[in-house]
Amino acid sequence: MNDAYDRLRVSEQRLREAVECLGVGIFDHDHVRNEVYWSPEHRALCGWEMESSIGLPEFLALVHAEDGEAVAGALEGGCDPAGTGLVDVEFRLKRKKDGELRWVRLRARVHFDGIGVHRRAVRTVGTLLDISAHKKAERALAESEERLRLAIMAANQGLYDLDVQTGNATVSPEYATMLGYDPTTFRETNESWIGRLHPDDHDRVASVFREYMAGRLPDYQVEFRQRTAQGGWKWILSLGRIVEYDGQGRPRRMLGTHTDITERKEAEEALAKSMRRLQAVVTGVPVVLYSFDRHGVFTLSEGQGLSGIGLRPGEVVGRSIFEVYGDRSPGVTNLQRALGGETFTAEMTFPSGSIFEVSHVALRDGAGNYDGTIGLLVDITERKKAERALRESENHLRRSQSVAHLGSYDFSIATGTWISSSALDEVFGIDGTFSRTIGGWESLIHPEDRESMMDHLLNHVMRGGHRFEREYRIRRHNDGQERWVRGLGELDLDGAGRPVRMIGTIQDITESKRAELALQTSLEEKDALLRELHHRVKNNLQIVSSLLSLKAHRERDENVLTALRDTQGRVHAMALLHEALYRSQNLARVDFGPYVRHLCAHLARAYGQSARPVVVEVKIDGLQLDLDRAVPCGLIVSEAVTNAFKHAFGSRGAGGIEVAARSLEGKLVELRISDDGIGLPPAFDPSRADTLGFQLLSRLAQQLEGRMRVETGEGTCVVVTFPMALPERPAAAGPGR
Q: What is the pLDDT of residue 737?
A: 33
The Cβ of residue 623 has, within 10 Å, a number of other Cβ atoms equal to 21
- Cα separation, 302 vs 314, whole angstroms: 6
Asked if 599 contacts 638 with a C-beta cutoff of 8 angstroms, the reply is yes
* pLDDT above 70: percentage of residues in the chain: 79
Higher pLDDT, 74 or 114: 74
The Cβ of residue 736 has, within 10 Å, a number of other Cβ atoms equal to 5
Taking the alpha carbons of 462, 467, 471, 474 in that order, is the dihedral positive or negative?
Answer: positive
Answer whether residue 648 shows pLDDT above 60: yes
SS3 call for 179: coil
CB-based burial label for 79 (10 Å; 0-12, 13-18, 19+): middle
Higher pLDDT, 394 or 40: 40
- Concatenate the DSSP letters of all residues of 486-525 into one string: EEEEEEEE-TTS-EEEEEEEEEE-HHHHHHHHHHHHHHHH
Q: What is the pLDDT of residue 713?
A: 76
Answer whether residue 205 shows pLDDT above 70: yes
- Cα separation, 298 vs 312, whole angstroms: 13
- Concatenate the DSSP letters of all residues of 184-230 into one string: TT--EEHHHHHHTB-TTTHHHHHHHHHHHHTT-SSSEEEEEEEE-TT
> 293 vs 278, 296, 300, 312, 377, CA distance in Å?
19, 5, 10, 20, 17
Asked if 498 contacts 520 with a C-beta cutoff of 8 angstroms, the reply is no
Confidence of residue 6 (pLDDT cuts 50, 70, 90): low
Q: What is the pLDDT of residue 17?
A: 59
Highest-scoring range by mean pLDDT, 541-555, 567-581, 634-648, 699-713: 699-713
Q: What is the pLDDT of residue 735?
A: 40
Confidence of residue 731 (pLDDT cuts 50, 70, 90): very low
**Backbone dihedral angles phi then psi of residue 62, each to the nearest 5 degrees:** -85, -10
301's enclosing H/E stretch is strand 298-302
Contacts of 606 by beta carbon, 8 Å cutoff, 6+ apart? 565, 569
Confidence of residue 64 (pLDDT cuts 50, 70, 90): very high
Average pLDDT over residues 93-116: 91
Q: What is the CA radius of gyration of the chain?
A: 55
Answer whether residue 620 shows pLDDT above 50: yes
Answer whether residue 543 shows pLDDT above 50: yes
The closest alpha carbon to 473, from 483, 459, 481, 458, belongs to: 483
User: What's the gap between Cα 313 and its chain centre?
Assistant: 49
Which stretch of 68-82, 376-390, 608-622 has the lowest confidence by average pLDDT? 608-622
Q: What is the pLDDT of residue 250?
A: 92
Contacts of 367 by beta carbon, 8 Å cutoff, 6+ apart? 221, 222, 223
Average pLDDT over residues 37-66: 89
Q: What is the pLDDT of residue 733?
A: 42
- Cα separation, 523 vs 87, whole angstroms: 93
Torsion of CA 497, 501, 505, 510, to 10 degrees: 90
Answer whether residue 174 shows pLDDT above 50: yes
b/e sequence 231-270, b meaning 16+ C-beta within 10 Å: eeebbbbbebebeeeeeeeebbebebbbbbbbeebeeeee
Is this model's pTM higher than 0.85 or not? no
Q: What is the pLDDT of residue 736?
A: 39
Q: What is the pLDDT of residue 292?
A: 86
Confidence of residue 374 (pLDDT cuts 50, 70, 90): confident
- Cα separation, 288 vs 290, whole angstroms: 6
Answer whether residue 51 shows pLDDT above 50: yes
Higher pLDDT, 542 or 706: 706
Confidence of residue 672 (pLDDT cuts 50, 70, 90): very high
**Backbone dihedral angles phi then psi of residue 528, each to the nearest 5 degrees:** -65, -40
User: Chain-wide mean pLDDT for the chain?
Assistant: 81
Asked if 197 contacts 226 with a C-beta cutoff of 8 angstroms, the reply is yes
- Cα separation, 8 vs 235, whole angstroms: 75
* pLDDT tens digits, 396-407: 766 766 666 788
Taking the alpha carbons of 8, 14, 20, 23 in that order, is the dihedral positive or negative?
Answer: negative
Answer whether residue 201 shows pLDDT above 80: yes
**Backbone dihedral angles phi then psi of residue 286, each to the nearest 5 degrees:** -75, 60
What are the residues facing 716 on neighbouring strands? 712
- Cα separation, 288 vs 415, whole angstroms: 47
Which stretch of 365-379, 629-643, 722-736 has the lowest confidence by average pLDDT? 722-736
CB-based burial label for 391 (10 Å; 0-12, 13-18, 19+): exposed
Asked if 355 contacts 384 with a C-beta cutoff of 8 angstroms, the reply is yes
Average pLDDT over residues 287-297: 84
- DSSP label at residue 611: T
Average pLDDT over residues 667-680: 88
Answer whether residue 523 shows pLDDT above 70: no
* pLDDT above 90: percentage of residues in the chain: 29
The closest alpha carbon to 502, from 442, 570, 419, belongs to: 419
- DSSP label at residue 677: S
**Backbone dihedral angles phi then psi of residue 314, each to the nearest 5 degrees:** 75, 0
Higher pLDDT, 280 or 166: 166
Beta strands, E only, 627-682: 655-664, 668-675
- Cα separation, 333 vs 322, whole angstroms: 11
* pLDDT tens digits, 417-451: 999 888 888 889 999 899 999 899 999 999 999 99
Average pLDDT over residues 122-149: 86
Confidence of residue 21 (pLDDT cuts 50, 70, 90): low
- Cα separation, 209 vs 254, whole angstroms: 12
Q: What is the pLDDT of residue 539?
A: 57
Confidence of residue 175 (pLDDT cuts 50, 70, 90): very high
Q: What is the pLDDT of residue 445?
A: 92
| The 157-163 sheet, strands edge to edge | 188-189, 168-171, 157-163, 251-260, 233-245, 220-227
Average pLDDT over residues 273-301: 76
* pLDDT tens digits, 652-671: 667 889 999 988 887 899 99
Confidence of residue 311 (pLDDT cuts 50, 70, 90): confident
Higher pLDDT, 3 or 453: 453
Asked if 20 contacts 43 with a C-beta cutoff of 8 angstroms, the reply is no
